Amino acid sequence: DGGITQSPKYLFRKEGQNVTLSCEQNLNHDAMYWYRQDPGQGLRLIYYSQIVNDFQKGDIAEGYSVSREKKESFPLTVTSAQKNPTAFYLCASNRQGGRRELFFGEGSRLTVL
């Protein structure tokens, strides 16, 4: 079945460590997105990529980095520069053109101790 796979589902890290969240899709979608979700804040866009080897900053990119070397993959690195990294992270994708709706993964919960 086609879909978006995020891993790991839960992740614990010590303060000051970088951590990478994986996002893989087999929907043949061109665009991929990373959102951060905090209680009462809705979903805020971190980074997005509309094509391989290209990506743009979203509204809260500071302290995060991404790469898009393959169409299927869009990993997110939470660096030690991110001041408050504990959050729920959602990856999404969509096809350029078409219905514009985003398809989401199941999310990754990062807790920094």
Q: Record the tokens describing residue 66, joined without a space.
A: 């991404």
Q: Which is nearer to another protein, 9 or 70 (CB)?
A: 9
Q: Where are the beta strands (DSSP E) in the chain?
A: 4-7, 10-13, 19-25, 31-38, 42-51, 54-57, 64-66, 76-78, 87-94, 103-104, 108-112
Q: Cβ 43 to another protein, closest distance in Å?
A: 4
Residue closer to another protein, measured from CB, 15 or 101 = 101
Q: Report the residue number, 27 or 45, with the smaller CB distance to another protein.
A: 45
**Residue placing its CB nearer to another protein in the complex, 43 or 75:** 43
Contact 49, 58 (CB under 8 A): no
Q: How far is the CB of 18 from another protein (least distance, A)?
A: 24
Q: Smallest gap, in angstroms, from Cβ of residue 109 to another protein?
A: 8
Distance CA 105, CA 109 (A): 12
> Where along the sequence are the contacts to another protein (CB under 8 A)?
31, 33, 35, 40-45, 48, 50, 56, 58, 88, 90, 92, 96, 99-102, 104, 106-107
**Rounded to 5 degrees, what are φ and ψ at 76?**
-115, 125
> What is the SS3 assignment for 82?
coil
Least distance between another protein and beta carbon 95 (Å): 11
